[in-house]
């Protein structure tokens, strides 16, 4: 894992249908497995420090959520706290307190957190990033309309929390060169939907993530995590052999 960083993507922690909902029991298993494998959660700043080459990310994980669903507070936060983990939530700032109206197949009508809940959870150590104001497809916008969504959503959250919002995730992972340029103007780091571990060579404003929809099976999740550690340990072993041969 020394050359790559693990960034996870979640949406809703609920029994709602579709790939963007993970049942609370499965989420609990995924977090327990991370803890069992010796992982600790990282902050946005720690991730950026790794990407800058200033820190390692061995057995660290950046846990992200998109959309600010209300079930984050109810079902995710207690489990995160149980393991001493924090998470980074990307919130559509002008949709808070409403019902989602963008995932229509299947329609799930999941409620979103309120602004007050976000302020409260920020005080409990959770981090918040921007996700546009209205969860629209940014590639269909330009000029002032694009700036409203990209820059404006971070300004909303910065005003509520009283600290600069460093991170952004584009709704649907939908970006083009113009959108990436707009994101670069306002944020230190941004995350997409490409499925991969992050590398230092990745564009700071288009970092890939691992969608946890694909790890609902505990064996597959543990195997993925342990595979990374085996690789890491084999590298350590080879380095040790090399040093003995040279010595
Ligand atoms: Zn979203």
Dist. CA 165–CA 186, nearest whole Å: 9
Cα 247 to averaged position of ligand 1 atoms, centre (Å) = 54
Measured at the CA of 78, the angle between CA 91 and CA 41, to 5 degrees, comes to 70
Cα 131 to averaged position of ligand 1 atoms, centre (Å) = 7
The helix/strand/coil state of 201 is coil
Cα 66 to averaged position of ligand 1 atoms, centre (Å) = 5
Cα 28 to averaged position of ligand 1 atoms, centre (Å) = 22
Q: For residue range 133-167, what is the model confidence (pLDDT) as tens digits?
A: 999 999 999 999 999 999 999 999 999 999 999 99
- Percent of the chain whose predicted confidence (pLDDT) is above 70: 90
Helix H segments across the chain? 24-36, 44-51, 71, 77-82, 115-123, 143-161, 177-184, 218-246
Give the chain's domains with CATH numbers: 4-246 (3.20.20.370)
Q: For residue range 178-236, what is the model confidence (pLDDT) as tens digits?
A: 999 999 999 999 999 999 999 999 999 999 999 999 999 998 899 999 875 554 445 45
One-character DSSP codes across 77-146: HHHHHHTT---EEEE-TTSTTSB--S-BTTB--PBBPPHHHHHHHHHTT-EEEE--SS---GGG--HHHH
pTM of the model: 0.90
- Give the model's confidence band at 90: pLDDT under 50 very low, under 70 low, under 90 confident, else very high: very high
Q: Say which residues have a Cβ less than 8 Å from residue 135's Cβ, sequence separation at least 6.
A: 67, 92, 95, 100, 102, 171
Cα 231 to averaged position of ligand 1 atoms, centre (Å) = 33
The residue among 210, 242, 216, 214 whose CA lies nearest residue 4 is 210
What pLDDT does residue 240 have? 56
Dist. CA 166–CA 43, nearest whole Å: 11
Cα 133 to averaged position of ligand 1 atoms, centre (Å) = 11
Cα 27 to averaged position of ligand 1 atoms, centre (Å) = 19
Two tokens at 53? 């080459």
- How many residues in the chain? 247
Cα 65 to averaged position of ligand 1 atoms, centre (Å) = 9
What pLDDT does residue 2 have? 54
Cis peptide leading into residue 106 (ω within 30°)? yes
Cα 163 to averaged position of ligand 1 atoms, centre (Å) = 22
């Amino acid at each position: 894992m020394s050359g790559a960083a693990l960034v996870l993507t979640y949406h809703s922690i609920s029994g709602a249908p579709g790939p963007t909902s993970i049942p609370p029991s499965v989420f609990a298993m995924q977090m327990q497995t991370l803890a069992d494998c010796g992982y600790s959660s990282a902050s946005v700043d720690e991730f950026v420090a790794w990407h800058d080459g200033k820190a390692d990310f061995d057995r660290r994980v950046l846990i992200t959520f998109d959309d600010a669903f209300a079930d984050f507070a109810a079902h995710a936060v207690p489990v995160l706290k149980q393991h001493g983990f924090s998470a980074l939530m990307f919130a559509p700032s002008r949709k808070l307190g409403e019902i989602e109206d963008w995932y229509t197949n299947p329609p799930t009508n999941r409620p979103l957190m309120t602004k007050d809940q976000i302020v409260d959870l920020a005080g409990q150590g959770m981090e918040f990033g921007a996700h546009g104001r209205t969860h629209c497809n940014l590639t269909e916008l330009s000029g002032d309309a694009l700036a409203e969504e990209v820059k404006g959503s971070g300004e909303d959250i910065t005003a509520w929390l009283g600290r600069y919002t460093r991170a952004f995730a584009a709704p649907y992972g939908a970006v083009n060169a113009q959108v990436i340029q707009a994101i670069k103007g306002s944020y230190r780091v941004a995350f997409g939907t490409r499925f991969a571990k992050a590398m230092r060579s990745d564009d700071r404003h288009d970092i890939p993530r691992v969608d946890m929809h694909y790890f609902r099976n505990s064996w597959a999740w543990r195997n993925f995590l342990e595979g990374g550690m085996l690789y890491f340990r084999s590298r350590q072993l080879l380095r040790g052999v090399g040093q003995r041969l040279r010595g």
